[in-house]
């Protein structure tokens, strides 16, 4: 790829006694967190001695930045630069193209700069290398001559990387322009299009290698449907289908003063006669200490509810740890058969046809334990 980055090493609180420092210093110590605005939040330190480096690590280990746990530190030799530049490529959904943004005033104050006048240059191009590089070069030409050679090279390499990785965002800030006319990517943010992972094996390997950092993405890779834990102390486990309707249910649950545990979209149309997905969601619920009720919602436009009811019962048999009551809101094809099947099972499952009524019952059950 040929994108130059500062020389550096990874360290954590365990390596304080024997820091793997390179060079004579000074160094920059960067807390490793997956969130922007890290510098402003105090996550980057400058150190002129190994004692300073150890100090910074000691102070920031086991802390969080903007709600993200610090996963370690990268120690880099401080870069000697003449200018900090901002350069990014991102999908612009409204313009249906790739937006290139460039500012000669990069660094931690980029947002303030961007809000004050026209420091940020911007253009939209088609998602093809030639078009993207041309658009980027046109922006570079508006900057002082001394910046044009390094930034022209950066535009070319980063545009290629953006396309090669099916990125939704590739942001370099700061991009250091060096005294010798070269450049170094001081920090970089890469946004990945999950839908493209099947043709991006290298990126998929990164996602899989860090299950704690990319929890939802790994769940989707493993199980082929969406599941997001929302509130570790949630009271209502949601076993639902449809992204928009599930989102709406979460909103309405919160409006009614109850805490939903999760979001999910099991996609009943893709169950193919197997309870696997339902079992997977119920297993997640066993991790929720405050779950007092499970709310099932299926609007069956095409799915046969009789078949679904059997899968639900099979799934509940497979996860006997789930002992809380279940409110099952089912509507659509073959409702009568589903209702009969569930009632004959003798399980504490309340079958409902009306969504508001099911919500009310779930809210009531959640309140019993709360």
Instruction: Find the radius of gyration of the CA atoms of the chain.
Output: 26
Q: Which is nearer to another protein, 192 or 351 (CB)?
A: 192
Question: Which tokens hold the place of 330?
Answer: 């089912």
Least Å from the CB of residue 67 to another protein:
9
Least Å from the CB of residue 70 to another protein:
17
Q: Which is nearer to another protein, 137 or 267 (CB)?
A: 267
Is the separation of the CB atoms in 119 and 202 below 8 Å? no
Distance from C-alpha of 52 to C-alpha of 228, rounded to nearest angstrom: 40
Dihedral angle, C-alpha 279, 283, 289, 290, nearest 10 °: -30
Q: Which is nearer to another protein, 25 or 332 (CB)?
A: 332
Q: Which is nearer to another protein, 59 or 96 (CB)?
A: 96
Least Å from the CB of residue 311 to another protein:
17
Q: Which is nearer to another protein, 61 or 355 (CB)?
A: 355
CA angle 319, 324, 330 (to 5 degrees): 85
What crossing angle do the helices spanning 335-345 and 305-318 adopt, rounded to 10°?
30
Q: Which is nearer to another protein, 170 or 184 (CB)?
A: 170
- The contacts of residue 280 (CB under 8 Å, 6+ apart) are 223, 227
Least Å from the CB of residue 181 to another protein:
33
Least Å from the CB of residue 178 to another protein:
29
**How far, in Å, are 18, 71, 96, 143 from residue 138 at the CA level?**
48, 39, 20, 10
Which residues of this protein are in contact with another protein, per CB under 8 A? Answer: 36, 91, 93-94, 96-98, 126-127, 163, 166, 168, 193-196, 198-199, 216, 226, 228, 230, 241-248, 250-252, 254-255, 263, 265, 299-302, 331-332, 355-356
Least Å from the CB of residue 245 to another protein:
4
Distance from C-alpha of 279 to C-alpha of 53, rounded to nearest angstrom: 48
Q: Which is nearer to another protein, 9 or 134 (CB)?
A: 134
Query: In Å, how far from its chain's centre is CA 269?
Result: 26
Question: Which tokens hold the place of 208?
Answer: 């899989």
Q: What is the DSSP letter of 198?
A: G
Q: Which is nearer to another protein, 45 or 107 (CB)?
A: 107
Least Å from the CB of residue 42 to another protein:
20
Q: Which is nearer to another protein, 81 or 299 (CB)?
A: 299
Query: In Å, how far from its chain's centre is CA 170?
Result: 15
**How far, in Å, are 210, 218, 219, 279, 363 from residue 214 at the CA level?**
6, 6, 9, 22, 31
Q: State whether residue 114 is helix, strand or coil.
A: helix
Least Å from the CB of residue 115 to another protein:
12
> If you search the block for the tokens 């046809």, which residue do you land on?
353
Least Å from the CB of residue 50 to another protein:
35
């Amino acid at each position: 790829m040929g994108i130059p980055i500062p020389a550096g090493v990874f360290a954590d609180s365990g390596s304080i006694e024997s820091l793997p420092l390179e060079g004579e210093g000074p160094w920059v110590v960067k807390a490793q967190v997956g969130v922007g605005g890290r510098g402003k939040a105090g996550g980057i330190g400058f150190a002129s001695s190994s004692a300073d480096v150890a100090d910074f690590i000691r102070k920031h280990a086991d802390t969080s930045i903007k709600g993200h746990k610090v996963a370690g530190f990268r120690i880099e030799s401080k870069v000697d630069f003449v200018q900090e530049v901002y350069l990014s490529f991102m999908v612009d959904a409204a313009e249906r193209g790739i937006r290139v943004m460039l500012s000669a005033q990069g660094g931690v104050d980029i947002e303030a700069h961007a809000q004050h006048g026209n420091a940020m240059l911007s253009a939209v191009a088609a998602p093809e290398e030639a078009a993207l590089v041309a658009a980027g070069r046109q922006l570079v030409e508006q900057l002082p001559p001394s910046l044009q050679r390094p930034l022209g090279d950066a535009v070319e390499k980063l545009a290629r990387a953006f396309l090669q990785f099916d990125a939704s965002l590739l942001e370099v800030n700061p991009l250091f322009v060096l005294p010798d006319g070269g450049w170094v990517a001081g920090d970089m943010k890469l946004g990945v299009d999950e839908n493209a992972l099947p043709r991006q094996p290298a990126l998929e390997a990164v996602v899989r290698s860090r299950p704690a950092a990319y929890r939802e993405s790994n769940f989707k890779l493993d199980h082929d449907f969406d599941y997001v834990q929302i509130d570790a102390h949630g009271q209502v486990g949601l076993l639902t289908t449809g992204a928009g309707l599930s989102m709406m249910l979460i909103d309405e649950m919160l409006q009614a003063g109850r805490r939903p545990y999760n979001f999910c979209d099991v996609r009943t149309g893709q169950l193919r006669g197997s309870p696997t997905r339902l079992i997977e969601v119920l297993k997640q619920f066993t991790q929720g200490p405050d779950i007092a009720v499970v709310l099932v919602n299926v609007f069956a436009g095409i799915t046969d509810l009789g078949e679904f009811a059997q899968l639900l019962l099979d799934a509940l048999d497979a996860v006997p740890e789930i002992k809380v009551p279940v409110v099952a809101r089912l509507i659509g094809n073959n409702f009568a058969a589903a209702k009969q099947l569930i009632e004959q099972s003798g399980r504490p499952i309340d079958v409902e046809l009306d969504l508001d009524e099911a919500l009310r019952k779930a809210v009531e059950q959640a309140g019993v334990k709360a």
